[in-house]
Amino acid sequence: MGRGFATALAPKHEVTVGSRDPNRARQAASATGATRGATYAEAAADAEVVILTVPWDAIDDTLSQLGELNETVVVDVSYPYRKHEREALKGSSTAEQIQKRLPRARVFKGWNHVHARHLTAPVVDGIAASVLIAGDDPEAKQIVFALAGDMGFHPVDVGPLKATRELERLVGVMLFVRLGPLRVLSRS
């Protein structure tokens, strides 16, 4: 997912790829057209937006390397694939847990229902695939919507951060029935 985001956003944005391994980050940056590769801490230090593309089981380690991310827009694209991960959330969602760990960040959920192959080719049969976005900060939501639009997606506001509980359930259904790109018909 990280490479897909970097490839899709690099033509219009300054993108830094972060990784535990800075050499791997530099290779990914070179392959995707990103500005540079760096450690997680270096990548997040001055970022306006941080897109977390690590598996859910790696989120604790990753967040510990990012700092507090005060006022930073943070987009969670994770999904807890393992049953014990979903059960550990106890009715919460991954994005809500990230918000608890980063209380001064502006956390959003999005793209967790999008297959990696569609990050760089979101238009299917002439129709832009929708990306469902949830979060509490209206100003920051417009930033996330703009990123979605720059990638070629049709952004859809599905409500506040607590709506991410339903998004994660939706992803579970989509994985079970193997649905392709999601399209939401709306006037906007």
Alpha helices in the chain, H assignment, sequence order? 2-9, 22-32, 40-45, 59-66, 83-88, 94-101, 138-151, 164-177
**120 lies in some domain:** yes
At 77, give phi and psi (nearest 5°): -110, 10
**29 lies in some domain:** no
Which residues contact residue 185 at a Cβ distance below 8 angstroms, ignoring those fewer than 6 apart? none
Residue with tokens 């490479």: 3
Element at 1 (helix H, strand E): none
- Here the tokens at position 153 are 């997606």
Sheet holding 154-157, edge to edge: 49-52, 73-76, 106-109, 130-135, 154-157
pLDDT number for residue 11: 97
- What's the CATH number where 168 sits? 3.40.50.720
pLDDT number for residue 183: 59
**41 lies in some domain:** no
**167 lies in some domain:** yes
**13 lies in some domain:** no
pLDDT number for residue 174: 67
pLDDT number for residue 85: 79
**What is the span of the domain harbouring residue 55?**
48-177
Question: Are 95 and 59 within 8 A, CB to CB?
Answer: no
pLDDT by 10-residue block (mean), the chain, 188 residues: 97 97 97 97 96 94 96 92 77 93 97 89 89 97 98 96 86 62 55
**66 lies in some domain:** yes
What's the domain count of the chain?
Answer: 1
**90 lies in some domain:** yes
